[in-house]
Homo-oligomer: A and B are copies of this chain.
Amino acid sequence: MRKEYLLAPGPTQVPPEVLLEMARPVFHHRTAEYRKLHQDVLEDLKTVFRTRNDVYTMTSSGTGAMETAVVNVLSPGEKALVVQGGKFGERWVNLCKAFGAQPIVIDVPWGKAVDPEEIRKHLKADPSIGAVYTQLCETSTGVVFDMQAIGAVVKETAAILVCDGISAVGAIPMETDAWGIDMLVSGSQKALMLPPGLAFITVSPKAWKRIDERKPMAFYFDIKKARKNLATFDNPWTPAVTLVVGLKKSLEIINARGIEQVWKDHTRLAKAARAAAKAMGLQVFADPPADCVTAIRLPDSIDGEALVKRLRKDCGITIAGGQDQLKGKIIRISHMGYADSTDVIIAISAVEMLLVEMGHKLEIGAGVRAAEMALLGK
């Protein structure tokens, strides 16, 4: 007997009741039944995203929603300010380049957060910058950016603020409207407790103004087509009906608990994971750390890739390692969505046992004890 635990920062575990809901017979999307469902999930998404702006569902991975926020917003040659502090910041840069826009890159050391004043400086120096692209949580490093402060800076300018909240929205505080996020991007397979295949984007009036002044470099991701269809709660293209059905259920679970409580739950798990890391003599990699995923710096003597592989193979536990410059150097444990204290205990326990087996000196049980202390609020 061996149980499997999916504790990577996406895809994450899906509640069994959501999985079963999605096993219901498929129905047609050009029907009153689908339109009502779609209308309901859009309202529920607004509650989770803390916005009264339009919300769109699209059939793609989160990257498709990121592309939507580029191809509708920037014309070839136009400038964008991009915060590049990890793999997903790089994705914004690559997206801009793919469609001929000009990214002005703020390079942030991986594991650190951007200084909002840097953004202010750039926007002041070049008022032709049309949009700022950043992350709420840079999933590759586990860092949370100060989106409230960034929002306050961008709000004063003509630029729009686009935030990739794929791994963060629904897990950690995000006040889309109050903070002035013009386009918020998210995906189904993280804190929203669904399989991958659906993505989301919100659009503020300020963003619409910019979008309406431009011809999109898009067809599938043409947000104006989506807006036209939204008037009747339709999608421009055949939607992933089963995932929308699952979404209704997962949003019900989230909203029954209340999004603020859900944020607190994530913080509790993240605090336990961070306390455990320290107790094992390891460093929390991110500064400041996001509460949706905990990145832990491994000792130089430990091969992180081997650790992740053995966790999966020997313990049935899937977490993530580091990417690119962080390959083999960090591990990342998710707290997103359908995760509770048992998941932290299981992950920390397995990591500390494996670290001992791989030759790292630590007091056996110290990680789990620290996690328990944190969970108990001590």
Binding site for B on A (CB under 8 A): 4, 6, 8, 10-14, 19-20, 22-29, 31, 59-64, 67, 70, 94-95, 98-99, 187, 189, 195-198, 216-222, 237-243, 312, 318
Which residues from chain B contact A8 at a C-beta distance below 8 Å? 28
Report, nearest first, the 8 A-B pairs whose CB atoms are least far apart. Answer: A197-B240, A61-B237, A98-B219, A195-B242, A19-B23, A23-B23, A61-B238, A196-B238
Shortest CB-to-CB span from A22 to chain B, Å, is 7
Contact between B25 and A238, CB atoms less than 8 A apart: no
- Chief secondary structure at chain A's binding surface: loop
Shortest CB-to-CB span from A227 to chain B, Å, is 16
Which residues from chain B contact A28 at a C-beta distance below 8 Å? 6, 8, 11, 318
Shortest CB-to-CB span from A140 to chain B, Å, is 13
Q: Give the CA-CA distance A130 to B75 in the complex, in Å.
A: 26
Q: Give the CA-CA distance A23 to B21 in the complex, in Å.
A: 9
Which residues from chain B contact A60 at a C-beta distance below 8 Å? 59-60, 64, 220, 237
Q: Give the CA-CA distance A10 to B28 in the complex, in Å.
A: 8
> Given known contacts A25-B14, A195-B26, A196-B239, is B64 in contact with A220 (CB within 8 Å)?
yes
Nearest-neighbor residue (CB-CB) of A239 within chain B: B196
Shortest CB-to-CB span from A19 to chain B, Å, is 4
> Given known contacts A27-B318, A318-B28, is B196 in contact with A59 (CB within 8 Å)?
yes
Contact between B26 and A63, CB atoms less than 8 A apart: no
Which residues from chain B contact A23 at a C-beta distance below 8 Å? 19-20, 22-23
Out of B24, B27, B243, which one reaches A197, CB within 8 Å?
B243
> Given known contacts A13-B26, A26-B6, A28-B8, is B238 in contact with A240 (CB within 8 Å)?
no
A-B contact pairs, 25 of them (CB 8 A): A6-B27, A10-B238, A11-B27, A11-B241, A13-B26, A14-B25, A19-B24, A22-B22, A31-B318, A59-B61, A59-B197, A60-B64, A61-B237, A61-B240, A63-B238, A64-B220, A94-B219, A95-B219, A98-B219, A98-B222, A187-B238, A195-B243, A196-B239, A217-B217, A240-B240
Contact between A14 and B31, CB atoms less than 8 A apart: no
Nearest-neighbor residue (CB-CB) of A196 within chain B: B238
Q: Give the CA-CA distance A28 to B8 in the complex, in Å.
A: 8
Contact between B19 and A25, CB atoms less than 8 A apart: yes
Nearest-neighbor residue (CB-CB) of A189 within chain B: B238
Which residues from chain B contact A241 at a C-beta distance below 8 Å? 11, 195-196
Contact between B14 and A219, CB atoms less than 8 A apart: no
Q: Give the CA-CA distance A19 to B10 in the complex, in Å.
A: 22
Which residues from chain B contact A187 at a C-beta distance below 8 Å? 238
Which residues from chain B contact A243 at a C-beta distance below 8 Å? 195, 197, 240
Contact between A25 and B13, CB atoms less than 8 A apart: yes
Shortest CB-to-CB span from A252 to chain B, Å, is 18
Q: Give the CA-CA distance A83 to B11 in the complex, in Å.
A: 40
Q: Which of the listed residues A19, A20, A195 has the most CB atoms from chain B within 10 Å of its own CB?
A: A195
Shortest CB-to-CB span from A186 to chain B, Å, is 13
Out of B196, B219, B240, which one reaches A67, CB within 8 Å?
B219
